[in-house]
């Protein structure tokens, strides 16, 4: 599992520290701004930011699940785990 956002790596570090550390690596899609986010169709030009989403990619690189969330809305962990359990 990876976390990715368009924030600078310094912002990632500060947030991770404030959360008491995270059990997964975080990636910064800072420069070029939103390149990966755009590739997944999640760049919101109007807001100048990425759209919150959960994307599950299998070991062969195939996207098996994609769900987006409105600002301020968090993914439901049980739903995400259910999708992960569908993978071989």
Give 10-residue mean pLDDT values along the chain (88 residues). 91 93 91 92 93 95 95 94 92
Domain residue spans of the chain: 3-85
Phi/psi of residue 79, nearest 5 degrees: -65, -40
The pLDDT score that the predictor gives to residue 31 is 87
pTM score of the predicted model = 0.81
Among the listed residues 32, 39, 65, 37, the one whose alpha carbon sits nearest the alpha carbon of residue 51: 37
For 3-85, which CATH class? alpha beta
The pLDDT score that the predictor gives to residue 32 is 87
The pLDDT score that the predictor gives to residue 20 is 94
């Amino acid at each position: 599992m990876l976390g990715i956002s368009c924030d600078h790596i310094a912002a990632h570090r500060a947030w991770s520290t404030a959360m008491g550390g995270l059990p997964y690596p975080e990636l910064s899609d800072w420069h070029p701004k939103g390149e990966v986010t755009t590739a997944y169709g999640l760049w919101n030009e109007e807001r100048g930011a990425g759209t919150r989403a959960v994307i599950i990619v299998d070991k062969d690189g195939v996207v098996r699940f994609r769900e987006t969330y409105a600002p301020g809305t968090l993914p439901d962990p049980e739903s995400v785990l259910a999708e992960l359990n569908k993978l071989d």
